[in-house]
Chains A and B, each alone.
Chain A
Amino acid sequence: MSEQNLQSQTVQTTGHAWDGDLQEFNNPLPTWWVYTFYVTIVFSIVYWLIYPSWPIGKSFLTGFSDITYVNKAGETVTSHWNTRALLMADLNKAEEMQKPYFSKVAANDFEQIAKDPELSGFVLSAGKALFTENCAPCHQQGGQGVIGFFPNLTDDDWLYGGSYDKIHETLVNGRRGYMPAFGEVLNAGEIDALANYVASLSGIAHDAGKAASGRVLFTSETAACYYCHTDSAKGRQDMGAPNLTDKIWLWADVPGAEKAEDKIAAIRSTIITGVNKGVMPAWGERLSPEQIKVLTVYVHELGGGK
């Protein structure tokens, strides 16, 4: 059967015969396929001319296309095509597009920005991007902070003041929160008394007797808590000393403890060790004045815009 087939077929062979009768059909590639292949060759040559391609020793063919961009130092740079230059050129373009908004931000004061629907819309989106990039690593994406490390920016309690000017000052100059460690200064009983007094200020179940002696200690020269936290324990914002009478906790994880004695233990441990990690970096050198202004309004808005 196969012999008959071979004899009747008219498909060309390549003309060679091996082992007497072993032949090879000559079935060329389809024309369209061959031409597509030629087109890809032409394409690659055009590509070499435009984009960086062949390595030559330690260098390479750069191609004839180039990209012009303005670098961070404000110099205009023209380089051969590369993705970094492309990114810079794109960033230049983005800056150009944001410019009208940022110049409006620069021309208006905080209140005006917050009350203008268009500008506040811009602050909401641009501020979110800036916040995500610069602030969220510590303060978290939504500004909720982390108890024991980074303050919550969404509540109505501000260590250094929540006005536009104070937030702006915090952003530009940074802050350094500090509380001395009282573990070496006071004895265990005194510390326990103080912890019970502080708990009583926020309505946490406590030992009334200890709290009463803690209250005396609080305003005494021995412990001298009132220097920073004031007589009424409402804190001094110029020193970043927190208000101890509200329900908001930053350093002692009181909300995280279930039982009252654990809450008091958390307060006690903060009194013993003090606080020496409340560092907010200064952003004045890193961000542009307009960016800081956008962030100020954004953060102010996070706290409810009071």
Chain B
Amino acid sequence: MQVGLEEQVAPLQGRIPVFTRSVKGAFRRFKSSVLITAYAVFFLLPWLPWQRADAPDQAVLFDVPGRRFLIFDLTMYPQDVVWLALLLFIAAAILFFATALVGRAFCGYFCFQTLWTDFFIWVEARIQGERPARVRLYRQPWTREKVLKVGATHLVWLLASFWTGMGFILYFGYAPELVARFFTGQAAVVAYATVAVLTLTTYFAAGYMREQICTYVCPYGRFQSVMYDPETLAVHYDARRGEGRLGRASARSGLRTLEERHDKGSGDCIDCKLCVQVCPTGIDIREGLQYKCISCGLCIDACNGIMDSMGFPRGLIRYDSEANLAKAEPVKPHLHWKRLKVVGYGVSIVFMAAYLAYSIGARSSFEGAVTQVRQPLFVVLSNGDIRNRYQIRVTNKLASAETFTVAIKGLPASVLDLGNLREVTVKPGHSAVMQASVILDPATAVRTREVTFVITPRLHPGEARIETAGFHYTPRG
């Protein structure tokens, strides 16, 4: 059949509104508990007090002006940004790992788009009623009732979006003080801008865009599907069981029990369309695995409820793998973890996590770096001696002031000239630069290729650090 112009899909498909029906079941309970836990952590964590000597008593504080992240007892400085990079790598590997095993579990249960959309739909259902009421409200003209209900929904959405923005900025300042300053108009411009942007994006993404974020905007959703294997568990409709020989059929008289249906050739699916009505992305899972499916499991809950009430066995829609469904005799679905990819991801997660833990556990109390002054590379002094100059930068990562001393190793102490600053005391989280000169006679200078410095913090001499830098001398003439 030739496809006519009228059947082509427009480049920009107008959104078909999705009105989801609420559902009860194991996956719904899991989604709700994840939602409550995530919201509790996100909104309450900035209010958790934590005793600190030199900073606000806030357990998690991203102190951007002070250039440090305070996370419980850990203080992160810009030098530690590699931890953040490692954390992101680990998060990515966990995403790949989970996707290979159980499909788009992140999308369905943990993604903030899913969480916020879920919460917004919950608000919508509380105010406007269950799905049929919402569809009716949507279709009716703008009556007083519609204006009030829709207006109230949007108001609550806006308030929730606003508090989402507030919750975010509270991580970047001392929460009680920042809230007070925010509402008295004394907070920084960036705080207002961030709250405004997050309020608007949350409102639009969770209120209007919803599943379109997953289908049109989100790159994860698209590339997660390429990490599926035939063995990957995903939400599947058992078409063989559901469609039978003659396809699905409603449970009219004569087709009420499994025996009757099997005798007549009908499948187990009674075509109640509840799986379609509960779907937050508005798809029909019975059409097979599709890119819009975020694997939230709500259709499993819906179908299991119907199967229970019909007295049919559960699992017409279930977590299963393509490979298993294609088998002549499907077995009970189980995790297929004995695959090179899954084990590889798992091992890399363990290694990266172990390294991150080690790196944080073995962090030093200071950073020391020696750089040779390269303009000029060397200086000939009036008596013919050769001088190289060095800048020694020390960063104090402790929560208290520390004094640093510098010594030279492998050469007599007399060749080191520290000028005016023989030692420096550095405030917590700050850096200081010491100027050092090394003066050698020409004969020694020709042989010397590098100089070794020992930087010692006075309060923690055991953490003394050895830094080497080059020594340059090219005799002329």
Contact = CB atoms under 8 A, between A and B. Distances in A.
B271 interface: no
Nearest to A136: B375
Main secondary structure, interface of B, reads loop
B26 interface: no
A132 B6 CA distance: 70
How extensive is the interface on chain B, given as a class? 20 to 34
Nearest to A156: B381
A38 to B, nearest CB: 18
B381 A155 contact: yes
B427 to A, nearest CB: 9
A121 B419 CA distance: 14
B383 A9 contact: no
A168 to B, nearest CB: 17
A203 B419 CA distance: 30
Main secondary structure, interface of A, reads loop
A129 to B, nearest CB: 15
Interface centre among B12, B387, B420, B426 (most CB of A within 10 A): B420
A288 interface: no
Given A157-B382, A247-B382, A304 B476 contact: no
B421 to A, nearest CB: 6
Contacts of B376: 140, 142-144, 152, 154
A279 interface: no
Contacts of A243: 382
A66 B477 CA distance: 63
Nearest to A8: B4
Interface stretch (B101-109, B200-208, B328-336, B432-440): B432-440
B373 A304 contact: no
Contact of B477 (A257, A301, A304): A257
B435 to A, nearest CB: 6
B327 to A, nearest CB: 44
A120 B4 contact: no
Contacts of B424: 117
Interface centre among A4, A142, A258 (most CB of B within 10 A): A142
Contact of B432 (A121, A247, A263, A305): A121
Given A120-B420, A156-B382, A248-B382, A141 B375 contact: yes
Interface of A: 4-5, 8-11, 30, 32, 114-115, 117, 120-121, 124, 140-144, 152, 154-157, 203, 243, 246-248, 254-258, 263, 301, 304-305
Interface of B: 2, 4-6, 11-12, 373-376, 379-384, 387, 389, 417, 419-421, 424-426, 432-433, 435, 437, 476-477
